[in-house]
């Protein structure tokens, strides 16, 4: 259960970072002009509207050091991001279903938001969730999270913006472009 709470805490942290980006008009190029971006280790990729920034951060946690690798593109008050991290725990001790459920609840609590949609899904051979969270001041987060139980590794793709933005075709194109290996 401790691992599930840590998992939720880190998802919440990343959603919180995304929510700080706010909401507004995007001014994005045509989807045909988007660029495929792949993580250094080749595990996660997505199409981004323009070249994003990539950063890596290591944090001390109750379960050990955790390195978060995040790629983010901000356009106006909107943000598109992917990230992944492997938990420094024995995969046999990690409860994936509890981790996904805890992450969804924690993400909403972190932004003082409400989960509007929480759908289980499976893709790339991994269990996951599709989430829509409303946050104060008109911000929304739409994302997909997956866990590779062999890591255990958390993978995320999120878009932050107004409801119109997160329900729009650019968000769908971004989330649908996600590839996890």
pLDDT of residue 52: 97
Q: Which pLDDT tens digit goes with each residue over 117-149?
A: 999 999 999 999 999 999 988 999 999 999 999
Domain segments of the chain as ranges: 2-180
> Could you tell me the pLDDT band of residue 61, with boundaries at 50, 70 and 90?
confident
Percent residues over pLDDT 90 in the chain: 65
pLDDT of residue 16: 40
> Could you tell me the pLDDT band of residue 3, with boundaries at 50, 70 and 90?
very low
Q: Which pLDDT tens digit goes with each residue over 150-179?
A: 999 999 999 999 999 999 999 999 999 999
Q: For the whole prediction, is pTM greater than 0.75?
A: yes
Q: Which pLDDT tens digit goes with each residue over 63-121?
A: 889 898 999 999 888 999 999 989 899 999 999 999 898 778 877 887 789 999 999 99
CA 175 centroid distance within chain: 10
Q: How many CB atoms lie within 10 A of CB 147?
A: 23
Q: Which pLDDT tens digit goes with each residue over 33-49?
A: 999 999 999 999 999 99
Dihedral (CA of 172, 47, 160, 158) sign: positive
Report the DSSP beta bridge partners of residue 72.
53, 81
Q: How many CB atoms lie within 10 A of CB 116?
A: 13
CATH of 2-180 among 3.40.50.11260, 3.90.1150.10, 3.40.1000.10, 3.30.465.10: 3.40.1000.10
pLDDT of residue 25: 43
Tokens representing 163 are 């409801």
């Amino acid at each position: 259960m401790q691992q599930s709470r840590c998992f939720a805490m880190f998802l919440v942290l990343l959603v919180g970072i995304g929510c700080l980006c706010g909401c507004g008009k995007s001014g994005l190029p045509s989807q045909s002009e988007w660029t495929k971006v792949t993580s250094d280790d080749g595990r996660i990729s997505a199409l981004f509207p323009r070249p994003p920034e990539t950063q890596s951060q290591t944090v001390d946690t109750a379960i050990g050091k955790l390195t978060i690798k995040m790629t983010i593109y901000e356009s106006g008050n909107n943000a598109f991001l992917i990230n992944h991290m492997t938990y420094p725990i024995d995969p046999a001790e990690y409860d994936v279903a509890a981790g996904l459920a805890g992450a969804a609840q924690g993400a909403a609590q972190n932004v003082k938001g409400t989960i509007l949609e929480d759908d289980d899904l499976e893709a790339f051979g991994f269990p996951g969730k599709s989430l829509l969270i409303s946050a104060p001041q008109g911000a929304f987060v739409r994302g997909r999270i997956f866990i590779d139980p062999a890591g255990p590794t958390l993978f995320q793709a999120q878009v932050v913006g107004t409801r119109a933005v997160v329900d729009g075709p650019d968000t769908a194109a971004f989330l649908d472009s996600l590839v996890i290996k």
